[in-house]
Structure 1
Amino acid sequence: MGLEAVSESGRLPAVQEQLAKTYGDLYTVWLGQTPIIVLNGCKVIREALVSHAEEFSGRPTTTILADLLGERGIVMSNGQTWKQQRRFGLTTLRNLGLGKRSLEERIKEEAQHLMEVFARKKGTPLDPASPITNSVTNVISALVFGHRFSVEDGLFSQLVEATDSLVENLGSFWSRLYDAFPRLMPYIPGSHHKVFQCQDFLKRFVKKEIRSHRERGRLDEPQDLIDFYDSQILKTKDDPNAMYDEENMVQVMIDLFVAGTETTTTTLRWALLYMVTYPEIQEKVQKELDAVLGSSQIIHYEDRKRLPYTNAVIHEIQRFGNIAGFGIVRQCVKETNLQGFTVSKGTIILPNISSALYDPEHWETPRQFNPSHFLDKEGNFVTKDAFIPFSAGHRVCFGEQLARTELFIFFCSLLQAFTFQLPDGVKKISLDYIFGATLKPYPYKICAVPR
């Protein structure tokens, strides 16, 4: 799919909708000799990913990912490796304060740093991408490494660049060519080489942090994910079924770091883009923040219950922004029946997340940015079954709660402190996206005018 297929609405083209109209909500496409079952619409996707969560919990591995990751980590692993690493990730995030005030304090600290960057611009045009990325990256850094980085730190800049480049190039045309011609591509120039370079840098970075942690020796009082994982290795060293080792440890840290940085950063960039595009919505958010929070600069995730309109806007940003596009493919791990069809073990499943987020049976104006999608007639916040930006089932994003907390605190902090406007002389800003592993907005500049 090329950029020429993108509409000004900024969302995915309707070609999948047309295929669904012709062939139904469940159909097969063939990539060479490989059949892929495509799922469309909220009903079919939820039946597959929730009602058949165990059967569709596998992750097919492309050639480039196999060469890059092996069977390590959380995101692309399978079987016992995946189950154990995911269990560790969920448990440790809770231990580190997920859903508690302790983690919120870290997020608020980074939100404050971000606001200070914006304030120094004094309302002049700025590209918010880099400051947002730095702040979100430092939230994950505190969780994984136990400390934040100065934005002046050259190593931190390399870390951010490698993370961004890894995601960007994994979604490139060259990476798809690698999957088709794995023996030939190592000898051909292209951005697929950048993928391996970035992965190598991230591995070296994480291993250096692991060595530093071990030198400090604080496993009796673990402070971050590296400490907890090292402790887990020691606890399970005599268990022959345990999959906790340094190779998995390194990849789990990379998975958490990359996934926790990319998606939240991209969503916040869309958030500010929509606020300058729809100033009347921005104004309503600010009025609600002022009325409910007053002059208080303290924002808690629990405040969302008192801020229904603001909460609805954040959800609509995620729905309409739809940064995951078609979602990440699954694989059937044992034969099952779906919608009257037999799905064989090993079959690749593509849940078209876009089709749920834009399902006309669940959204009044699916192709328009409309916060009322998440409000009832009395203005109370309501959620929808079709709202699945984090996917669903056993492979649902394990950082969902962290992402929700970050989005709420960052968004509210920024809208409380600034009004975002287009620069003088700019009448319109593009809502088109760059197609890749995630759907990113094109670079843009806005003015953060202090309130």
Structure 2
Amino acid sequence: MELLGTTTIFLLVCISCLLLFATWRSISQKEKQPPGPITLPIVGNIFQLNLWNLPESLKKLSKKYGPVFTIYLGPQKVVVLHGYDVVKEALVDQADVFSGRGKLPLFKKLFQGTGIVTSNGETWRQLRRFALTTLRDFGMGKKSVEERIQEEAHFLVERIRNTCEQPFDPGNFLIHAVSNIICSIVFGDRFDYEDKKFVTLIKLLEENNKLQNSIHTQLYNFIPTVMDYLPGPHQQIIKNIEEVDKFTFKIIAEHQETLDPTCPRDFIDAFLNKMEQEKGNGHSEFTIETLSRTTLDLFLAGTGTTSITLRHGFLILQKYPEIVEKIQKEIDCVIGPDRSPCMADRSRMPYTDAVVHEIQRFIDFIPLNVPHSVIKDTKFRDYFIPKDTMIFPMLSPILHDSKEFPNPEKFDPGHFLNANGTFKKSDYFMPFSAGKRMCAGESLARMELFIFLIAILQNFTLKPVMDCKDIDISPLVSTLANIPRPYKVSFIPR
């Protein structure tokens, strides 16, 4: 009996161990995390990453760990998606699951998780739906906005003409012109180029573009709690955004005083009307705070991205005068010297269209993409990704994919041209991202890039201040955005 009892106990122990092992194995398989480098407490992978060129560091890690891997920005876990197939699988095939916005510490500090860009859940859904509908109502993607861009292009050309062929940095001219388009939609009017408030506002944005490359700014995303107490450029970025925020609040207050509910003039008026309609809803997402933040989002996104793309584009075109000649030949053939360019011309100007696409591909403006997150526990390519994990669905490896774009580090409009010279589309062209979080202003940006670039080259030829061979067109790389190197150029009337 005693032997039987011992045997029974032994068998029970064995069975229990087997069950525990099976359960552990099941959990282990279910929660298999994406691989990644060894992480340190508090600082994460800070010592394994080049903060001056994070995209390049992630490229090297992808070669070791594959297209799905994990890094830590301080204590913040991030799953990196590296390559077209894996990004498409996440953002397009599993669009709902990956539709969250990742809380990058700097973004969280600057934008507080409200507005369109950084909000999540029902707040994001309602604000994005309202913004897209309202922007379309006020002409975005339509003929009315195209006419505004044509008018602004005329002002821009005349302003350039007044430089009398002297070399200058066109950055301010371009950002003023581009900003005026979104201002006319959101604020109801454009600003005079000499308007002091407008000039000050643009200077703040330009300063932030430069400061974002500082090591302090990069460190903020790793150790925000520490950096909050340290002086440096990151503190100035925060102050500058606060000043821009005050500017939008003031315009909103002026709109409240002059609002005619029956005749909304712009996006702000439409939002104020929506707030009034939802006055009895205690859970409404439409408040003064979300209006201010959404207005700021639209202004920043509608001002910075396109103007920097154009500025980088004109730097590139200085290096390749033969490309400029081909564009101008197409302009002369299709549009002529006097008529304003329009979007209907694009289908008849495949070379120019290819150049515009190649500029966006080459500069790789937002290499890491704007961070996403998963909205629920997710099984992705045999890996388990917990709810709210931040995701970097990188754009850089897609735009520089060597199979899709041979010799991707070289600027070549041929990447978007068929052998017969017609325009060639590419699924890998994702400068505006993809899926449910893709840029809401894509159609506006495409119109601005095409019309502004053509209007300038219709009227001017570029004259560099140095030999074409010496022009460095590689971007200044940072965590958040690639920006062009400073330069000056003369615009010679044709």
Give TM-score, length-normalised by structure 1: 0.93
Unaligned runs of 5+ in 2: 1-48
Give the match for residue 75 of structure 1. 117
- CA–CA separation in structure 2 for the residues paired with 1:118 and 1:266: 17
Percent identity, please: 39
- CA–CA separation in structure 2 for the residues paired with 1:187 and 1:93: 40
Q: How does 1:18-417 map to 2 (within 5 A)?
A: 18-169=60-211, 172-417=214-459
Out of 327-336 and 67-76, give the one that drifted further. Answer: 67-76
Give the match for residue 489 of structure 2. 446
Q: 1:180 to 1:311 in 2, by over 3 A?
A: closer
Query: In 1, are the aligned partners of 2:178 and 2:303 still within 8 Å (CA)?
Result: yes
Unaligned runs of 5+ in 1: 6-11
In structure 2, the residue corresponding to 1:447 is in which secondary structure?
strand
Query: In 2, are the aligned partners of 1:71 and 1:81 still within 8 Å (CA)?
Result: no
Q: 1:108 to 1:245 in 2, by over 3 A?
A: same
Query: In 2, are the aligned partners of 1:71 and 1:77 still within 8 Å (CA)?
Result: yes
What letter corresponds to residue 127 of structure 1 in structure 2?
D
Could you give the per-residue CA deviations for residues 249-276 of structure 1, whole angstroms, max 9, x where no partner exists? 0000100001111100110011111111
In structure 2, the residue corresponding to 1:125 is in which secondary structure?
coil
Greater Rg over alpha carbons, structure: 2
Could you give the per-residue CA deviations for residues 357-387 of structure 1, whole angstroms, max 9, x where no partner exists? 0112211221211111111122111211111
- CA–CA separation in structure 2 for the residues paired with 1:2 and 1:444: 26
What letter corresponds to residue 412 of structure 2 in structure 1?
N
In structure 2, the residue corresponding to 1:434 is in which secondary structure?
coil
Query: In 2, are the aligned partners of 1:3 and 1:434 still within 8 Å (CA)?
Result: no
- CA–CA separation in structure 2 for the residues paired with 1:243 and 1:390: 26
Query: In 1, are the aligned partners of 2:73 and 2:222 still within 8 Å (CA)?
Result: no
Query: In 1, are the aligned partners of 2:306 and 2:445 still within 8 Å (CA)?
Result: yes
What letter corresponds to residue 486 of structure 2 in structure 1?
P
- CA–CA separation in structure 1 for the residues paired with 2:83 and 2:477: 22
Give the match for residue 431 of structure 1. 473
Could you give the per-residue CA deviations for residues 310-359 of structure 1, whole angstroms, max 9, x where no partner exists? 10110000000111122111111112232232322122211120000011
What letter corresponds to residue 465 of structure 2 in structure 1?
P
In structure 1, the residue corresponding to 2:116 is in which secondary structure?
coil
Query: In 2, are the aligned partners of 1:264 and 1:403 still within 8 Å (CA)?
Result: yes
Compute the displacement of 1:168 (Å): 4.5
In structure 2, the residue corresponding to 1:326 is in which secondary structure?
coil
Query: In 1, are the aligned partners of 2:416 and 2:425 still within 8 Å (CA)?
Result: yes
Comparing both chains, which one has the higher relative contact order based on Cα–Cα distances under 8 Å and sequence gaps of 6 or more?
A: 1
Query: In 2, are the aligned partners of 1:3 and 1:435 still within 8 Å (CA)?
Result: no
- CA–CA separation in structure 2 for the residues paired with 1:96 and 1:294: 30
Give the match for residue 20 of structure 2. none
What letter corresponds to residue 146 of structure 2 in structure 1?
E
Query: In 1, are the aligned partners of 2:74 and 2:223 still within 8 Å (CA)?
Result: no
Give the match for residue 9 of structure 1. none
Query: In 2, are the aligned partners of 1:73 and 1:248 still within 8 Å (CA)?
Result: yes
What letter corresponds to residue 404 of structure 1 in structure 2?
R
Count of equivalent residues? 445
- CA–CA separation in structure 1 for the residues paired with 2:398 and 2:409: 12
Compute the displacement of 1:427 (Å): 5.5
- CA–CA separation in structure 1 for the residues paired with 2:51 and 2:72: 23
- CA–CA separation in structure 2 for the residues paired with 1:435 and 1:367: 14
Query: In 2, are the aligned partners of 1:419 and 1:449 still within 8 Å (CA)?
Result: yes
In structure 2, the residue corresponding to 1:109 is in which secondary structure?
helix
Out of 166-175 and 295-304, give the one that drifted further. Answer: 166-175
- CA–CA separation in structure 2 for the residues paired with 1:22 and 1:196: 36
In structure 2, the residue corresponding to 1:148 is in which secondary structure?
coil
What letter corresponds to residue 448 of structure 1 in structure 2?
F
In structure 2, the residue corresponding to 1:126 is in which secondary structure?
coil
Compute the displacement of 1:33 (Å): 4.1
Q: CA RMSD in A?
A: 2.1
Q: 1:177 to 1:261 in 2, by over 3 A?
A: same
- CA–CA separation in structure 2 for the residues paired with 1:23 and 1:185: 30
What letter corresponds to residue 438 of structure 1 in structure 2?
A
Compute the displacement of 1:67 (Å): 3.7
- CA–CA separation in structure 2 for the residues paired with 1:124 and 1:32: 48
Q: 1:256 to 1:155 in 2, by over 3 A?
A: same
Could you give the per-residue CA deviations for residues 219-258 of structure 1, whole angstroms, max 9, x where no partner exists? 2111211111111111222234420000000000100001
Could you give the per-residue CA deviations for residues 256-303 of structure 1, whole angstroms, max 9, x where no partner exists? 001111100110011111111111111111101111112342211121
- CA–CA separation in structure 2 for the residues paired with 1:183 and 1:43: 36
Out of 256-265 and 35-44, give the one that drifted further. Answer: 35-44
In structure 2, the residue corresponding to 1:36 is in which secondary structure?
strand
- CA–CA separation in structure 1 for the residues paired with 2:190 and 2:408: 39
Query: In 1, are the aligned partners of 2:320 and 2:468 still within 8 Å (CA)?
Result: no
Query: In 2, are the aligned partners of 1:263 and 1:438 still within 8 Å (CA)?
Result: no
- CA–CA separation in structure 2 for the residues paired with 1:203 and 1:14: 33
Give the match for residue 8 of structure 1. none
